[in-house]
Each structure stands twice: as structure tokens, then as C-alpha cells.
Amino acid sequence: MLESLRHSLRRKVILLVLAATVAALALTALGLVIYDLRVYEKQWTDDLNTQAEILARASAPALAFDDRRTATTDLTLMKVRPRVLGAALYTRGGELFATYTKPGLEAVAFPPRPQADGYTIEGDQLRIFRRVVEGGETIGTVYLRAYYQPWERVRDYLTILGVVMLASLALAALVSGWLQSAITVPILEVAHTARQVISQQDYSLRARKITDDEIGQLVDSFNAMLAEAGRRAEALREADRRKDEFLATLAHELRNPLAPLRNALEILRVAPSNPALAEKARSMMERQLNQMVRLVDDLLDVSRITTGKLAVRKGVIDLQATLHDAIETARPLVEARRHELVVEMPPEPIAVEGDRTRLAQVFSNLLNNAAKYTEPGGRIALTLAKDAQEAVVSVSDNGIGLDPASLQSIFDMFVQVDRTLERTHAGLGVGLTLARRLVALHDGTLTATSDGRGRGSGFEVRLPLAGAVRSEVDKARHPGGREGSRRILIADDNADFANSLGATLTGRGHDVRVVYDGAEALATAARFNPDFAFLDIGMPRVHGYEVARRLREQPGTAKCVLVAVTGWGQEDDRQRAREAGFDRHLVKPADPADIDSILKSY
């Protein structure tokens, strides 16, 4: 029974109604019985007191004249009261004067002497003493003994209450039936729907709404919760699918450059004396290394996006120069696929406030996508124009196009435009996500358009105009650095990296010192007084941040150009490097062109 109650709301409601009804009726019955017993006791004692008063007045002459026979006759009148068991008269001195015993009973034991006025209940009998007063003087006492049996009355009363309780329980059962339809049925409907959702994983199910009261509101809230849970479950499934697709794509994309790298190493091993073949192998290794660097950079950008640490360094820039940077980055892929690239830009400079490197990354991503998803020999158009207070950059192609339904979802993380096995440039599915986030950080918008599959696509970037132009094109054409041999210190606990970078810079005519820990870097810098120091951060003995701080404190190295070369590339890593005294920050593997640019800039 208790187990069934634990698992049944219906039974609990019935039990609640019936228990409340029984408790209320029981308390009411108890109160009524107690009240009736008090009333019965009062009525019976009042009645006997009245009889005793009448008998006292009738017997007063007999007591006054010492007439025992008349007194006995007066007492015999009590036989008309069948509940009276006996009666007695006592004299003024307390002596028994006359008695009466109900016929059929054995002799009644009368008290030897009278007691004070009042009554007492002994078991099932009631005793009353009443003084006989004549002319203000007590001349005797009347004694009455009678049956006192309230339990028969209580039994009758309880029988009536039992009938009433049964009728009340029947009515309570009817009320509980109504409560089930009004309360338990909607709740049970919610519970049933919840079980179905759990068993079937179908969040489209809904509980049936029966009432418009608070329970109806509960049903509405439950259905709304199911709808939200369904949306979140679908989002989780989609995210999980994209994650699996991303991991599979990542594995595929990482294996692709590894295979030609291994082949190139084998070529260099088996044909070391063939310069043409060796040069071809080196070129192939460089291309594949750049591809792996791009993949690693994409992974770092994914980390920045998910942790909210993606940041930009804004300044007033020439947008034409930024677009030229993007074109140069994308040109190898465009030319490799024999596309026609049409560029339209106004002759006057268009200035925006932004991060030139990051915006070039956005535009090169759009150009690369256009080149990848357009069949060889296609047409790509890049245009720059002004529209009111905005600069508008458009990239369009006549490639595979987009489904209208995917014009928003393509900006989600890990979404692939082309999911066929024949795709030749899959990527990681983060480029457009990163591009839109970067544009948003510049207070701009990035939107996609397409007339459908096979009909090409277009992407439009809108950026707010800046107030003035800083001619970065001129600055790029006329750098402030000087040429010639420089004194360079390289410190890195990765000996292969340090030695290879040292050999590269030595081959370009620079005076290079290579060390492998922070303490040795400080000692060498004190003797060597380098113009540039390329320092790893996580070195033994003394880390790179501390080396930078100490070099800044020494007069001989205070003006040395400090370059952090590390695998840590988050924005807070760059900020910490600046605070330690570094002038520049490069992320491994560092591009030799970036190193040359630094050497020429100072």
C-alpha cells in the first residue's frame, strides 16, 4: 500500500481528501460527544435535583411531626421514575428516617449519615443529597440514587455519526473524482509526456492543457521548457556533429602536408647531388610548411574565439593598402586555379580605424574561399567603394554558390560549404566565423549573398570610415630601418630551432650568437652587446620575461631590439611580453620574412 502511494499521485490525492474528511468528521464527532455528555450530565442532575426538591417539600411535614409512615409513602412516589434505584430521608440529627428501594432490587445500601448538598457519580450510578428546609431551618436531608448510563446515549449518537461519516466519505469520493480531473489529470499528463520525451528523445511532444488556472500555467511552462530543451538538444547534436566533422577534417588537413614533407625528405636523402631536384623538394617543403602554419594559426584563432580573447589593435589605416596585402596573400591560390581576378578601387584613399593585419586576414580569407569554391578558370571580383559613412568591400565569384538556407549558418563554427568527398580545399570551417568576429570587432558587418547552388556567391564587408588617412603605403615603401650586418643574439632551449635560425641569419651576413638558456643569454649579451635579441620565453634557469627585464636595465643592452619568439600567441601573452620590455612578438614557427622585416625596421 505504502509503495503504491509513493508512485501514484492519484492515490495520494484520494487519500488526502479521505484523510482530511475522516479527520474533520472524527474531530467533529469527538467534540459533539463530549458536548452531549456534558449536556446529558447536566440534564440528569438537574432532573434529580428537581425531584429531590419536590420530595423535600412533600416530606417536610412528615419530618416535622416525626411521621415515618407518611414519609415512607412520600418516598414510594419515586417508583414512577424507573431510573431511581432508591431514596431516603434523614432527620435533623442525621439519622436514617425513611427509605425506598426500587421494586425487584435487593436492599440498597444507604449512607449511614447524610453528606453536603450536591451530587456524585460512582460508576453507573448518580447520588444526590438535598437538605429539607422549613421556615429557614434545616429539618432533614433527602437522598436519591439513580442509574447514570450515558454510554447508551453515546452509542446511539455514534451510530448516527457513523452513518453521517459514511455519507460524507461517499461525497468526499465524488469530490476527489472532480479533483482528479481538475488537478491530478493535468499533472499526470505532464508526467506522461515527460516519460515519453525521456524514452523517445522526442522534444516535439507536448502536454495537453486542460485548465486555465495555475496548473494550466504549469502545463504551458512545461511545454515551453520542452521547446527550449528541444532547441538546445538540436544545437548540441549539431555542435557535436560539427565537432566530429572538424576533428576528421583536421586529421585530414594535417596529414595532407605531412605526406609531401616525408617525400621531400626522402628525395633529399636519395638524391643529394641533384640541385634541381633538391630545389624542387625544398620548394615543396616550404609550401607544405606554410600550409601547416596556416592550420595551426586557425586552431589558435579557434581558441581565441571560444575563450573570448580575440582582440585587435586599432589605428587609422588605408583600406586600399590592406586590400593589396590580402591580394598578395591570396594571389598564389588564385593563379594556381587560373582565375581572373578583377579589382576595382577608387584612386583616393579610404581610411578606416582598424587592425591592418586582421582586416587583411578577413579579406584574404574571402578571396581564398572564392578561389577554392570556384571551378578553375573562374572569375573573382574585388571592389571597394564608399556608401555614406561606410567603406564597402565586396568579394564575388561565379563558383558553386550557396543554398539560401545556409547564408547565415556558414558563419557558424566548423561549418563546411562543400561537404562532398570530391572537395579539394576543405579547410577547418573556422575562416568565416573568424572573419565575421573580426569585422564585428571593427564595428562592421559581414554578410553573404547567393542566388543558389551553381550560381556563385558574394560577401560584403561594411566598415565605418575614419576621419583621417595615415599613408601606410608610403611607410611600407620607405621603411625607416637600415640595411647591413647586425649583431644578433638567439636564445632558445630548442637547440634545433636556435641553431637553424642562427645558421639562416649567419648565411645572410649577420653576426650571430646562439645560446640555450636564460642565464647564458644574459652573460653573452653583456659581452656581445647585440642589436637584436630573439628570445624564447620558456627557457631553463632564467625565463624569457626576466631576461628581457634585465637586458633593459643594463646600459649596454637597454636599446637592444627584443623579439619574443614563442609558441604562446594569445593576446594576454603578447601583453605580458610588452610589459616585460619586448619590442616585437613572433609565434613559432616564425616566418623568415617576418624576421627580415624586423631586421630592416630598426
What CATH code is carried by the domain that includes residue 442?
Answer: 3.30.565.10
Q: Are residues 519 and 396 in the same domain?
A: no
Q: Which range of residues forms the domain containing residue 125?
A: 2-153
- 288 within some domain: no
Same domain membership, residue 467 and residue 486: no
Of 448, 475, 502, which closes a domain? 475
Pair 488, 594 in one domain: yes
Q: Tell me the Cα Rg of the chain.
A: 54
- Whether residue 226 lies inside any domain: the answer is no
CATH code of the domain in which 557 resides: 3.40.50.2300
Q: Residue 524: which of 504, 539, 509 has the closest Cα? A: 539
Mean pLDDT by 10 residues, the chain (602 residues): 54 72 82 84 88 89 89 88 91 91 84 91 89 89 90 80 83 73 73 85 83 80 88 83 69 69 83 83 81 73 67 84 90 91 92 89 91 92 93 94 82 61 53 86 92 90 73 39 78 90 90 94 93 93 93 91 87 86 89 86 82
* Cα dist from 54 to 98, 139, 253, 474, whole Å: 16, 15, 122, 138
- Asked if residue 451 and residue 344 are part of one domain, the reply reads yes
Closest to 174 (Cα-Cα) out of 11, 5, 14, 23: 14
Q: What pLDDT, on a 0 to 100 scale, did the predictor assign at position 166? A: 85
Q: Is residue 216 part of a domain?
A: no
The candidate with the shortest Cα–Cα distance to 211, out of 235, 232, 185, is 185
What is the CA angle 521-526-529, rounded to 5? 95
DSSP state string for 76-108: HGGGGSTTEEEEEEEETTS-EEEEEE-TTSPPP
Please check whether residues 396 and 440 belong to one and the same domain. Answer: yes
Does residue 502 belong to any structural domain of this protein?
yes
Cα–Cα distance, 42 to 119 (Å, whole number): 11
Show the beta-strand stretches assigned E in 96-243: 96-101, 118-122, 125-134, 137-147
Query: Closest Cα to residue 457, out of 404, 500, 530?
Result: 404
Shared-domain flag, residues 384 and 334:
yes
Boundary residue ending a domain (445, 475, 505): 475
> Are 338 and 423 contained in the same domain?
yes
Domain presence at residue 470 = yes
387 and 519, same domain (yes or no): no
Judge whether 225 lies within some domain.
Answer: no
Note the helical H segments in 143-184: 150-179
| CB within 8 Å of 584: residues ≥ 6 apart | 561, 562, 563, 564, 598
Please tell me the total count of domains within the chain.
3
Q: Are residues 445 and 518 in the same domain?
A: no
Query: Which residues on adjacent β-strands are paired with residue 581?
Result: none
Strand partners, 315: 354
Do 446 and 546 belong to one domain? no
Q: 512 with 492: CB under 8 angstroms?
A: no
Residue 273 lies in a domain: no
Specify if 250 maps to a domain: no
Q: 488 and 591 in one domain?
A: yes
Domain end position, chosen among 449, 475, 501: 475
In this prediction the pTM is 0.45
What is the distance between the alpha carbons of residues 351 and 328, in angstroms, rounded to a whole number? 20
pLDDT at 428: 60
Residue 593 burial (CB count, 10 A): 8
Domain containing residue 45: CATH number: 3.30.450.20
Q: Say whether both 495 and 452 belong to one domain.
A: no
- Report the alpha-carbon distance of residue 41 to residue 239 in Å, rounded: 84
